[in-house]
Amino acid sequence: MITMGLGMAGQVAGHAAETDAARGRNNAKARNNHIKQREYEVTANLDNVQYLNDVIDQDQDQDATYAAMMDQWSDTDYQLKNIFATQDFAIEDAIIKMHQGGASEQTGASAARASIGKDVLELGRSKTRAIHSKMMAVDEANRAKQKTWRGGKNDSEALFRDVAFAPTHGFAPVQDTNFEKGPSKAGLVLGLANTGWQGYQDFQANTADPIGKK
């Protein structure tokens, strides 16, 4: 009977140990699943925050790019106005020179007419050169503005491409669901029953027959 009791106690203890071991392995798998999921979520959140910051920075850079283009256009317009003013002053000087020449410096009607004709011709040349310079300046200014605009447009598109697509986080980590069921209680009960039956048989085999019983 002692042997039977020790055997049954060993079976119960073994069953409990296997159950605890299976529970521990299952808890470890569940803990690893939780850690991987949390890492995935934290990384995704950080990527989203970084993307939003990049979008804000991109908006600021877009504003700065536009402001720089406007400043360059303003400088081009100022240079164009300066060229126009310089040519206007040149025409004005030619007109003054024409009126100051002629009879005031020479005697005789023929000499005056000759002098005035020369000054008028010089005035015409001055106007022609001034108009040509203005036209060339306008064309150069337009070219400069187009170049500035293309540069700003390319910079703007490059900034947009940096944030054109939100981050993709991929698939969530695969969960390890291969949990162990642990040892069956039915097996324990069956084992205890077999041990008990074997113990009973051993007990019967080792028990002497009653006196007088054949």
Q: How many helices (H) and strands (E) does the chain have?
A: 3, 0
Domain that holds residue 96: 2-165
d(CA 59, CA 156): 10
Domain membership flag for residue 209:
no
Domain membership flag for residue 69:
yes
Domain membership flag for residue 33:
yes
Our count of domains for the chain comes to 1
Domain membership flag for residue 88:
yes
Domain membership flag for residue 196:
no
Identity at 140, one-letter amino acid code: E
pLDDT, tens only, 121-166: 888 888 899 899 999 999 999 999 999 999 999 999 999 999 999 8
CA angle, 27 then 31 then 36, to 5°: 150
Question: Contacts from 91-94 at CB under 8 Å and sequence distance 24+?
Answer: 91/123, 91/126, 91/127, 91/130, 93/126, 94/119, 94/122, 94/123, 94/126, 94/127
pLDDT, tens only, 32-54: 999 999 999 999 999 999 999 99
Is residue 160 within 8 A of residue 55, CB to CB? The reply is no
d(CA 163, CA 56): 10
**With a threshold of 0.75, does the pTM exceed it?**
no
Residue 148 sits at φ, ψ, to 5 deg, of -65, -40
Domain membership flag for residue 175:
no
Domain membership flag for residue 203:
no
